[in-house]
Amino acid sequence: MTLRIALPSKGRLQAQCIAWFAERGITIARTGGEREYAGRIEGVAGAELVLLSASEIPRALAEGAAHLGITGQDLVREQIPDWAGRLGELARLGFGRADLVLAVPAFWVDVERVEDLDAVAAAFRARHGHRLRIATKYHRLVRGFLRAHGVADYRLIDSQGATEGTVKNRAAEAIADITTTGATLRANHLKVLSDGLILASQAALFAARGARWDNDAHASLAELAGRLGLTGAAPLPD
């Protein structure tokens, strides 16, 4: 069986993945036009390239449609319940860095920590008759984070884009979103809580435990792991 390796289909993350492999003597080459999601891997026998959006790669790995894949840690942890039991994280790649953070309006001068948000949320519900709204697309991660901090009086509002603007537009009172520099948060008069880091994410190479790992796939994986310097560095599929 061919070892199927899923990489982001376009953009900066794809370019960084190609450069990361190239530094280790493995060539990733696009074939066809820019609109054709096809390519090849040179330098590892029996390996096949699969090009998907970064957000589709976690699902492909969880379903066993790909043996290996590179995507963001945030996407894997958000999309796949019990992800560590279904995937092995073989390497953190040092690019694609972004922090998932909890942010509130900057004028909330008495709210600096998550425990302060808990107090404000209780007061907000008592005053307005409904729960404080937090806009995010990371429902699983945010819910788990707030549960761990004992915050209960809130409601998650789904936001798939321009999340920073939901507070200004009065669609939410706080947000949980990805940031790299914090500039967009500041531009929208938001501040990150001092202990509001939910996840420090980066691109990582994952292996699908539930994929079909026959002898050929294992042989290709062993060759790839040796080229990438991963042997013994992470739990590989049995």
Domain ranges of the chain: 3-97+203-228, 98-201
Superfamily of domain 98-201: Periplasmic binding protein-like II (3.40.190.10)
- Cα–Cα dist 101/210, whole Å: 31
Task: Count CA atoms within 13 Å of residue 200 on its CB side.
Answer: 5
CB within 8 Å of 228: residues ≥ 6 apart: 24, 26, 91, 205
Residue 39: the pLDDT is: 76
Burial 15-43 (b: 16+ CB within 10 A, else e): ebbbebbeeeebebebeeeeeeeebebee
Alpha helix (H) residue ranges in 129-209: 139-148, 183-187
pLDDT tens by residue, the chain, 238 residues? 799 999 999 899 999 999 999 999 999 987 665 555 567 898 889 999 999 999 999 999 999 999 999 999 999 999 999 999 999 999 999 999 999 999 999 999 999 999 999 999 989 999 988 999 999 999 999 999 999 999 999 999 999 888 999 999 999 999 999 999 999 999 999 999 999 999 999 999 999 999 999 999 999 999 999 988 886 544 556 5
Q: Which residues pair with 99 in a beta bridge?
A: 179, 200
Residue 37: the pLDDT is: 59
- Cα–Cα dist 192/44, whole Å: 44
Same fold yes or no, 3-97+203-228 and 98-201 = yes
Residue 207: the pLDDT is: 96
The answer to whether 58 and 80 are in contact (CB under 8 A) is yes
CATH 1.10.3720.10 fits 3-97+203-228, yes or no: no
- Cα–Cα dist 210/234, whole Å: 17
Say whether pTM exceeds 0.75.
yes
- Cα–Cα dist 113/63, whole Å: 39
